[in-house]
Amino acid sequence: MPNVHPTEELLNDYAAGSLSEGVSLAIATHIAMCPQCQAHVQQLEAIGGAMVMSAVETPVGDHVLENVLAQMSHLESKPTSQPVLPGDLRNQDIILPNPLRDYLGAKTLRELDYLNWTTLPGYSEYVASDRSDKTKVRLLRVAAGMTLPQHTHEGLELTLILKGSFSDHNGTCGVGDLSVADPATDHAPSVDRTGECICLAVTDAPLRLTGRFGRMLNPFLDL
C-alpha cells in the first residue's frame, strides 16, 4: 500500500476531469496502485454523478443537498476491483499499471528497455510526451545512490515510483508513492543506495535548476 498520496485538490480535479493529460496519467497510475485513493475517487465520482442527477430530476432548491447526501449514504467505500500492483521487485517482468501500459505501449518493466532512452552516466530519461507540449511526461531511470540536480518548479511536478525508492521533501518514497512538488518546493531527490529507481515524472511547466551545479546545466537541459 503506497504511503505518499496526491493532494485532495488533485484527486478532486481528477474526478472532475479537469487535469491535463499528463497530470491525469500520473494520478490514474497511482490510483491503479492505491486502494485508498481508488475508493476515494470512486466516492467523488459518485457524488458528482449524484449532483448531476439531482440537478436534472429536482428543481434546484433546498432539497438538492439532501438528495445528494441520501444517495451518498448508499455508496460503498471499498474499491470494487483489486488494484494492480507492480509486484515482486526481483522479477523484472513486473506488469505495469493499466493506464501507463496503454500510454507507453509497454506491458512490463522489462519492455521499457525497448523505449528510446537518452542515457547519461547514472541517469537515463525517456520523453513520452510531445516535446512541444507544455506538460512533459518522462520516465526516469536513476542509479542507486544518485542525487538529481536541485531544482524548483514553475508549475507542478508529480513523481510516481515504479521501481526502487528515493528520498525527497516528502521523506522516503517507495513503489506506488506519488510525490507532488509545487512552485514553493526546492528539492533534490536522492535515490536510495539499495538499487536503481524507475519513476514516471510529469511536469506541467519547465523546471528551474537552482543548485550551484544545476545553474550551470540550465542552458543545456531541455526539461
Please report, as ranges, the residues that interact with Zn ion according to CB under 5 A: 5, 34, 36-37
Q: What burial letters (b/e) apply to 73-97, b meaning 16+ CB within 10 Å?
A: eeeeeebeeebbbbeebeeeebebb
- Residue number, 68 or 158, with CB nearest to Zn ion: 158
- Any residues with CB less than 8 A from the CB of 153 and at least 6 apart, and which? 181, 182, 183, 185, 203, 205, 207, 208
Shortest distance (Å) from residue 82 CB to Zn ion: 15
Shortest distance (Å) from residue 35 CB to Zn ion: 8
Three-state SS for 123?
strand
Shortest distance (Å) from residue 36 CB to Zn ion: 5
- Residue number, 86 or 214, with CB nearest to Zn ion: 86
Distance CA 40, CA 11 (A): 8
- Residue number, 10 or 209, with CB nearest to Zn ion: 10
- Residue number, 30 or 163, with CB nearest to Zn ion: 30
Q: Are 57 and 29 contacting, i.e. CB atoms less than 8 angstroms apart?
A: no
Shortest distance (Å) from residue 2 CB to Zn ion: 5
